[in-house]
Structure 1
Amino acid sequence: MSVASRAADPARSGVAAQSALDAAQAADVPATPATMPGLLTIGVMAATIMQILDSTIANVALPHMQASLGATADTVTWVLTSYIIASAAAIPITGWLADRLGSRRLFLISVVGFVLASMACGLAQNLDQMVIFRVFQGIFAAFLNPLSQSVMLDINRPSRHARAMSIWGMGIMIGPILGPLLGGWLTENYNWRWVFYVNVPIGILCFAVLSALLPSRPLRRRKFDLFGFSLLAIAIGALQLMLDRGQANDWFQSTEVIIEAGVSLAAWWMFAVHMLTARNPMFDRAMLANRNLVTSLIFMLVVGLVVMAVMALLPPLLQTLYGYPVLDTGLLLMPRGVGVLISMAVAGQLIQRGFDTRILIGTGTLLTAYSLYTMTQWTLVMGSSPIVLSGLIQGLGMGLIFIPLNVTAFATLQPQYRTEASSLLNLCRNLGASVGISICTTVLARNLQISHADLAGQVTAYNTGNIDPAITAILGSTGDTMLAALNGEVTRQAAMIAYLDDFWMMMILTGLSVFLVLFLRKPKLAAKADPKDLPH
């Protein structure tokens, strides 16, 4: 066949390339073999950790940014919100762009774009500039996680996917834990701008390795579903705005929040109808017919909710109620990362030996629920041991969920769906995190008010010792000081009750999610997909 003939028939060449990928899957060889896979893994993981760190590292630097950028306490949060919204909206098109441009080219473009946007964020002189640069940073960051996960699967043979996912998962799960600690250290010892500059050396190293070693998957020419993408972007963007601004605006007492909720619901509904009826929908319907993938997407919502909600609640709890400084808070959160590392390594070994992934996922879910139960027993007068122990148990549980869940989701998918499936899993984890943080902070604020009112109602002359609330007014400033101290203790007790209520809520949700395991199918072999689950 001539060159012109081959160029005129891209569909035939794409089918042939895909057949080769399927054959590689069946023969237990990598879908896209790479030279020096160990060094390539380091480059891929550098991109993953760089992106994950940046999703949390800026949180502790917000007060310093506020003064430097001339922002207010309300507007400076757009530094976080702009990144989250841009990233969430861009994640769904990762698969299409990878097929259209090539996974290698998109990966390299994303690394370069992320590093340049990070440098621009560090150089920002006002809030407007910072928000614009964070939007670009979020867009490029959106592509890094799905691409890194699909590369780790592609360069390893199917029988070693569990090990590959263990390595990848360590970066995903450790990043949110190390982010606040590293961000606090950089801000205290250098400047908040180094929170962004730290990406530059990591990005240069990552680009050098990837440009030299990264292979590319076959191109697939398919039409872009602009209408479907627009609906999904509107749905995600409106939902993120509602979650971010709901608490400050008293939720559905605000016209703005009602409009954002309505727009999001309408867009989600239209997107669902479009996916069911369109000739060329944004996501292949055959892929979404895979039971393991769909169940894993729901599970990933719960994982995102629990991990990120806990990580959002614990730093203020440890610093305000227990009085730990920033660095000590970060150290107290480290056992959670140790538990993740241990259980991910164990899970990878067990899966390679043929252990049922559903048992691992169920065990991990129950361990996570138990760790949350131990957190419901915390008191204001305890030491650091319960914090360390619960964090270690929770890390062990999350590691047992994350790796087997990813292995189960991808084991029954054909290789060409990996990038799209990875983008959906990352999207669900991010949405779960946004929803979880919003719900937990709202419940915390409401329960704090309720508990404060209940406790204050019990303060009488009979249970306050020598302090009589009825006569403190005649004592002048001394009486005011006594009342302020009493109110401070009531507020402290009410805050602890509110935190415990959040832990109870997350424990119940995590415990109920264990029943999702019943909907998963165990892959027969790591190297072979179950024909019942393969798209037709």
Structure 2
Amino acid sequence: MVTPQEQVRPEVRPWPALWALVLGFFMILIDSTIVSVATPAILADLKSDVGTVVWVTSAYLLAYAVPLLITGRLGDKIGPKKLYLTGLAVFTLASVWCGFTGTIEMLIIARVFQGLGASMMTPQTMAVITRIFPPDQRGRAMSLWGATAGVAVLVGPILGGVLVDALGWQWIFFINAPVGVIGFVLAMRLVPDLPTHDHKFDLVGVALSSIGLFCLVFGIQEGQKYDWGQIKGLLSVWSLIIAGLVVIGIFLVWQARNKGEPLLPLSLFKDRNFSLANIAITTVGFAITAMAFPLMLYAQEVRGLSPTRSALLFIPMAVISGALAPFVGRLVDRTPPRFIAGFGLLCCSVSMFWLSQELQPGIAIWKILLPLALLGVANGFMWAPLGTTATRNLPMHQAGAGAGVYNTTRQIGAVLGSAGIAVLMESRLAANLPAMPGGAPGEGTGGGKLPAALAQGFSDSMGQAILLPAGVLVIGLVAALMFTKPKFMQQRPADAPVVAEA
């Protein structure tokens, strides 16, 4: 067993290790969004219905989000490298399985295994950064991790559109096979075997957290599908959500009273920055997921753009976010996080307020690209300081647990964003387009351009919906402004130089 003050062996080369991990991390995040573009093709080829094909995405997100607390802790116990490689192998094999499936039911099952593989990998990337980079270099490392997360969410729909148009929907999964093999070889060679910690596994905590998160995430994720009412018999969406909250409450009580070693060490939340960073990343996950839905519907239904051309609207955001990553990473290692993260969250909220005003039927496309470019600035300044601030003060033996919590809150934020924006879009469409029964997005259209008489009301509805994520980000901004200086900044003289490996 190692102490919290363990030191990484001098022969460890952190940057090559990080690049190897980022490749796999990029791949699994792309798979969170890439399927949305291929849904119509899957629907037609596998002769399914809309209610069933939605589960191709839902099953993946559920299997990804629910086990994150467990896989984060498991990485501390058996080693982050071993669990990462296991997850990458599961994910890659499941991707090939997805491509070869001939029925919608088998595709959904294969996507569950993909999600499980992704859940094994994600916490390990953050845990390894925490353990192999010294505190005053983690900002640049986390900026690469954050830029990967930000860019992957944008690249997914673009890549999906190109592959579906050129080769067929199966190739959105087959493309993972060579990337997964390369990523496995690189991780095997470059990621160090870090010391493990002799944790006892909290089986009661595992059961409670799994049941509670499943009920909560499933209820929120599927609420819109069942109109927030009955699912089957006496089972309703709200009963599932309430049951999930109750079980999570029991889980937290058990964690507080567990005299052994709990699955979720509540001592993590004694670190003010860790708690605040989790609040902030929840709002970011909510907003980034939520804003994409109304924007894509506006682009396709009002402007008549194809799915691929609609996704290309995100290119300025992706380019600016990636270009800013090295600069922001250096800044994170020198500047108190409240200023950097606060600036990023402010830009994000402002960009969405701005975008909501620009969604009009006849507006020039370049005017829409301007707030999206500001969103790229926001992405560049949000992900790195939030991820770095969450983990910087954590003891090494809790790096995996901390990463698991952080990624769980991010995923729950994304699920809340997806559900929340769906409800608001439906509400605004019902108000602005009363002729559309129920106001369901796209109802009464053929998936192409809307009639001119409906374009203004539809555009207004989508713009008003984007005000929701813009407002939620204000909560994250307040949390970021309450960050304190990391311990290493408090201990180092203000004029001391920061030595960072290029």
| SS of equivalent residue, structure 2 residue 362 | coil
Is 2:472 the counterpart of 1:509? yes
2:350 pairs, out of 344, 351, 370, with 370
1:313 and 2:294 aligned:
yes
CA offset digits 1:434-463 (Å, max 9, x no partner)? 10111011110111011123999xxxxxxx
- CA deviation after TM superposition for structure 1 residue 36, in Å: 4.7
Q: 1:104 aligns with which of 81, 99, 109?
A: 81
For structure 1, the 5+ residue unaligned runs are: 1-13, 25-30, 457-486, 530-536
The one of 277, 285, 290 aligned to 1:296: 277
Quote the Cα distance in structure 2 between the aligned partners of 1:528 and 1:18.
21
Tell me the residue number matched to 2:433.
452
- In structure 1, distance between residues paired with 2:25 and 2:476: 27
| Aligned residue number for residue 437 of structure 1 | 418
The answer to whether the 8 Å contact 1:32/1:154 transfers is: no
Q: Is the 8 A contact 2:219 2:240 kept in 1?
A: yes
2:384 to 403, 406, 426: 403
| Maintained 8 Å contact 2:20/2:190 | no
Show CA shifts across 1:210-255 (max 9, x none). Answer: 1122212222222212222222212221222222322222214665
Worse-matched range after superposition: 209-218 or 107-116 = 209-218
1:323 paired with 2:304, answer yes
Compare CA radii of gyration and give the structure with the larger one.
1
Letter in 2 for 1:163: R
Q: Please give the TM-score of this superposition, normalised by the length of structure 2.
A: 0.90
Question: Conserved in 1, the CA contact under 8 Å of 2:284 and 2:410?
Answer: yes
How far the C-alpha of 1:180 sits from its partner, in A, is 0.5
1:527/1:32 CA distance change after superposition, 3 Å: farther
Answering whether residue 455 of structure 2 is matched by residue 492 of structure 1, we say: yes
When residues 66 and 525 of structure 1 are mapped into structure 2, their CA distance, relative to the original with a 3 A threshold, is same
Q: Provide the rounded CA distance (Å) in 2 between the counterparts of 1:33 and 1:387.
A: 49
> Counterpart of 2:54 in 1: which secondary structure?
helix
Sort the Cα spacing of 1:20 and 1:412 in 2 relative to 1 into closer, same or farther, 3 A: closer
**Cα distance, 1:65 vs structure 2:** 1.3
Residue 344 (structure 1) aligned with residue 329 (structure 2) = no
**In structure 2, what is the Cα distance between the partners aligned to 1:144 and 1:312?**
27
- Matching residue's letter, 1:387: I
Q: Distance in 1 between matches of 2:190 and 2:220?
A: 41
- Structure 1, 244-253 or 365-374: larger mean CA deviation: 244-253
Alignment equivalent of 1:89, drawn from 66, 72, 77? 66
Residue 285 of structure 1: CA displacement? 2.3
Cα RMSD, aligned residues only: 2.2
In the superposition, relative to structure 1, how do residues 221 and 450 fare at CA in structure 2: closer, same or farther (>3 Å)? same
Q: Structure 1's 32 and 174: CA in aligned 2 closer, same or farther, altered over 3 A?
A: farther
Task: Name the SS for the 2:469 alignment partner.
Answer: helix
1-side partners of 2:487 and 2:272: how far apart? 15
Would the aligned equivalents of 1:304 and 1:436 in 2 still touch at CA under 8 Å? yes
Specify the code of the residue in structure 2 equivalent to 1:430: Q
Q: Which residue of 1 aligns with 2:254?
A: 274
Task: Give the match's secondary structure for 2:263.
Answer: coil
Q: What is the percent sequence identity of the aligned residues?
A: 26
Structure 1 residue 32: Cα displacement:
5.1
| Structure 1 residues 79-478: aligned runs within 5 Å | 79-252=56-229, 255-279=235-259, 280-352=261-333, 354-378=334-358, 379-453=360-434
The code of the aligned residue for 2:326 comes to A
Q: Is the 8 A contact 1:158 1:526 kept in 2?
A: no
Query: For the residues of structure 1 that align with 2:151 and 2:490, how far apart are their CA atoms?
Result: 28
Structure 1 residue aligned with 2:29: 52
Residue matched to 2:3: 18
1:294-331 per-position Cα deviation (integer Å, ceiling 9, x unaligned):
11111110010111111233222211111222232222
Runs of 4 or more above 6 Å deviation: none
Counterpart of 1:525 in 2: which secondary structure?
A: helix
Residues 13-33 of structure 1: per-residue CA shift (max 9 Å, x gap) = x1xx22551xx3xxxxxx355
Once residues 101 and 150 of structure 1 are traced to their aligned partners in structure 2, the CA distance between those partners, rounded to angstroms, is 13
Question: CA 1:154 to 1:513, structure 2 compared with 1: closer, same or farther past 3 Å?
Answer: closer
Aligned equivalents of 1:130 and 1:420: distance in 2?
31
For the residues of structure 1 that align with 2:391 and 2:453, how far apart are their CA atoms?
51
Q: Partner letter of residue 369 of structure 1?
A: S
Whichever residue aligns with residue 414 of structure 2, its letter is: A
Does the C-alpha gap of structure 1 residues 130 and 214 become closer, same or farther in structure 2, counting only changes over 3 Å?
same
The 8 Å contact of residues 339 and 481 in structure 2, kept in 1 or not, is answered as no
d(CA) in 2 for partners of 1:174, 1:116? 24
Q: Deviations over 1:395-434 (max 9, x none)?
A: 2112212211122222211122222111111111111011
Q: Deviation of residue 524 (structure 1)? A: 4.2
Q: Counterpart of 2:289 in structure 1: which amino acid?
A: M
Q: Aligned to 2:357, what secondary structure does the other structure show?
A: coil
1:78 paired residue number: 55
Note closer, same or farther for the CA distance 1:133–1:389 as it changes in structure 2 (3 Å cut).
Answer: same
